[in-house]
Amino acid sequence: MRTLSSLIAFFFLSSCNDTANLEAIQDLPENSRLVSVKLLDSLGNLTFYIPNRYDTNFTWTHYTDCGKPCAQEKYRFQPKTLPITKESGFIWHGEPKDSIERFTISHSAAPFPFSDGDTGRIIMEGKHETAQLRADPDNPPIVFDTAESINHRYFFIIVLSKFDTLKSQYSRKVLAMTTIRNNNIKFQYELMTRRNDSLTENFIKNSINLLRTIRISNGI
């Protein structure tokens, strides 16, 4: 049975999380719109806000050498004026060296018919992802990571940022993870640019506020 102090703490945290989500809606970047995505394998329906300039979207399967259990289903939004790439172990020729701005959702192509992981599981998966990102020298340094409740579902958020002085290039990534039916779902905003403008300056803040608008329905 919960004590009075634990109940007060629970309602206080819930109130803080609701306030953060409301502030995210109020602090949305200008010219944003609400979109929806139906995930494969009955993982649920997503709604979230993205910038209006992300005027093209597409889906594909990112295959690897070990077959479908290691493959990823991906859903991407981006400006159609930028290079369109679809990562795959069979045909992929590497990322563009510049001019990347996009939002990608990904999850395993193999269904996992189990119940949701708890907060501890999400944090564990997030810490594992953090270690993998740090091990890859191509990734920008990690600025911070944290666990946060977004619309009553816990996410692990990782922020990466770098200015490459040799290339005069800015790299920004904001990655969020949660679980649905024991399947890890990843949401990632990415920017690579040589422009030091308001978009670059506010990219991390705006991406986090956009991520805070994610709602998942019909997933277990």
Q: What is the DSSP string of 120-141?
A: HHHHHHHHHHHHHHHH-TTSPP
Q: What is the pLDDT of residue 184?
A: 87
Q: Which domains does the chain have, with CATH numbers?
A: 4-217 (3.40.1000.10)
pLDDT tens digit sequence for 195-207 = 999 999 999 999 9
Q: What confidence category does residue 10 fall into, taking pLDDT thresholds of 50, 70 and 90?
A: very low
Is residue 33 within 8 A of residue 22, CB to CB? The reply is: no
Which residues partner with 171 through β-bridges? 162, 192
Q: What is the helix (H) or strand (E) element at residue 206, kind and residue range?
A: helix 203-211
Sheet of 44-51, strands arranged across: 32-39, 44-51, 215-217
Q: Which pLDDT tens digit goes with each residue over 117-136?
A: 568 888 888 999 999 999 99
* Phi, psi angle pair for 42, to nearest 5°: 55, 35
